[in-house]
Amino acid sequence: MTEFKKEEEIFNACGCVSFTSNFGRVKFEQLSNPEAIADFLDGGAEIEELMIGKDKFDYGMKRLKLEDKSMLLLGEKIRDSPYIRLVSLSNIHITKSIASAINKILEGNSRYLKTLIAKFNKWKNPSEDIPTVAEGILDNQFLEVLNLRSNRIGETGAKLISDALVHNKSVKELNLQNNAIGDVGASSIGNALLNNKTLTKLNLSANEIGDEGIKELADSLIHNQALTSLSLRDNEIEQAGAKDLGRVIAKNQVLTRLNLSTNHIGDIGIKWIAEALIQNQSIIELNLKNNNIGTIGALDIGNALAKNHTLRILNLSSNDIEEIAEILKSQFLTELDVQDNRIKDPAITHPSINIKY
């Protein structure tokens, strides 16, 4: 039996569903024997991407339960590997030992690991285990991408992650989508953004953030000079929140992509954003999908774009807009999405704007 065939049989026996020919990328939807993979790493295996658990969430799907002692050992071997660049632990039960394993990975693999994905997980004891992971983030100064989507860490978890970000100088992308952090958690993130000069991409979608949380975020974003991409999709932003975001758009000249889709901004709220766009010189992509915007709001946006020379991509789909003539006067817009509106003349074209009806 060749060495490759032997390794392939070991992987398959452990629940491997895919791997590259040289084992550079290995994925396990089930992992019956973490210790075998630990031994494989201990032998110098050049695995660069190690994924455990399903990376998509399905309702009714059972989360993966892993043996604690073996996972601690695997965490140590991942920590010591000079090859692993990406680790994904998704749709699993996070116990105290597995949280400790994640801590080990972050604490020791500082020079090599660049991406950690831990999404769709269920924490057995969040109040004890999330601090363990946060401590690893605090200690690690080389991790660049951290995806904690759909872990329901709440406002307490957001505070712990935020405290770590104050001192962390390496994480560039953070995904906290669907974590129920609320206004208090958003405030904690805002405090971190006052001090963090590294984070460039932040996803806070679907987090039950209302106007109060947006105000705290806005107060920090006005001064932040690092963040270039922010998603606040599917939150609870209304008129007051839109006014505070207008302050950010008017004063922050670093942010280039802003997603505000699926909120409750309306025509009154959009007026604040439109007025701010006149002063803005950085945002190139703005998503306002599904925000109860009507023709009056579209007119305000059009008037603003007559003076804005930066915005290139605008999404106004799933609103209540009838007329887009003023928007089409923009000399700099290149893409406009107005699908699922009430456009009176959906046959209008533009020589330089790609319009989606």
Q: What is the pLDDT of residue 21?
A: 57
Structural domain includes residue 19: yes
Q: Assign 3-state DSSP to the chain and report helix, strand, coil percentages, each to 5.
A: 40, 15, 45
Q: What is the pLDDT of residue 22?
A: 66
Q: What is the pLDDT of residue 68?
A: 85
Q: Which domain holds residue 116?
A: 1-150
Structural domain includes residue 255: no
Contact 345, 331 (CB under 8 A): no
Structural domain includes residue 245: no
State if pTM tops 0.85.
yes
Structural domain includes residue 206: no
- Give per-10-residue mean pLDDT for the chain (357 aa): 57 70 79 84 88 81 83 91 93 93 81 93 91 92 96 96 94 98 98 96 98 98 97 98 98 98 98 98 98 98 97 98 96 98 92 96
β-bridge partners, 315: 287, 337
Domain count, the chain: 1
Structural domain includes residue 221: no
Structural domain includes residue 246: no
Q: What is the pLDDT of residue 2?
A: 44
Structural domain includes residue 110: yes
Q: What is the pLDDT of residue 1?
A: 37
Q: What is the pLDDT of residue 242?
A: 98
- Whichever domain contains 109, its CATH number is 3.80.10
CA distance 227 to 200: 4
Angle, CA of 40, 112 and 30, to the nearest 5°: 40
Structural domain includes residue 190: no
